[in-house]
Amino acid sequence: MINKMLLASGLISFVSFGHAETVKVYAAASLTNALTDIVQIYEKQHPQTDIIPVFGASSALAKQIEAGAKSDIFFSADVDWMNYLVQKQMIYAQQIRPLLSNQLVVISPETLNISFKAQPNFNFAQVFKGRLCTGQMESVPVGKYAKQSLIKLNWLDNLKGRIVGTDDVRSALAFVERGECEVGIVYKTDALISQKVKIIGTFPQNSHHPIIYPMALTKQGEKNADAQQFNQFVHRNPLAKAIFVKYGFVVNP
């Protein structure tokens, strides 16, 4: 009987030893390519750790975390949704690091020739005939930034009825790639990964809130040593920094 118990105990220990630890990272859709590359490098160096990224609009991800979804790290495309989770007591404020910056650009399909000038007296609504795609303007970060810029330039009213709000920035990019929207407002990093669209202009930085990507361990993640280690890797490792730069992000000091 004792031998059987010892054998069972040993088997449990063996199974536990061979089981990879998991880290769930909830990250903005615009981070998909860069973070996927970083995860691949990290997992080669740490084969016992399984990093599971979940990509989507920062707004949707924050709501999922609030609702109790298992998440160790939140990597947002704006400060507002990070602060939202601080207010909901899902993240400690001292964990937040403003890791990256980005730019807001206007794109069109490669085949179109649409002019753009970031000036209030430029009649943007008349230079294209179809729809404009960006994230949902009341919640998705890229849509919130887009709305701020369109208001600043006095363009929003003339575009009403023609703006399509998408679930996240990659959906907006896809609409423009397919030609379903003649114009899109996305991040520079999203425009750069596509061969089907071109950047026709950049919104001035003073036309919208700073595009900051804060990253933080959730309260659950603070208890996960592997999450802490991956968090440090993303923040401090030169390889991670090089990948972010490769995709067009600015790494904040």
Question: Tell me: the pLDDT tens digits for 207-246?
Answer: 999 999 999 999 999 999 999 999 999 999 999 999 999 9
Annotated binding site: 30, 58, 169, 187
Boundaries of domain holding 84? 2-101+212-251
Annotated binding site for molybdate: 30, 58, 169, 187
Taking alpha carbons only, the member of 185, 58, 203 closest to residue 119 is 203
CATH code of 86's domain:
3.40.190.10
Q: 3-class SS at 7?
A: helix
96 and 141 co-located in one domain: no
Instruction: For 135-179, write each residue's pLDDT tens digit.
Output: 999 999 999 999 999 999 999 999 999 999 999 999 999 999 999
Contact residues for 246 (Cβ-Cβ < 8 A; gap 6+): 34
- φ, ψ (nearest 5 deg) of residue 193: -85, -10
| Long-range contacts of 117-123, Cβ-Cβ distance < 8 Å, separation of 24 or more | 117/201, 118/153, 118/201, 118/202, 118/203, 118/204, 118/207, 119/153, 120/153, 120/154, 120/155, 122/153, 123/158
197 and 109 co-located in one domain: yes
Contact 92, 219 (CB under 8 A): yes
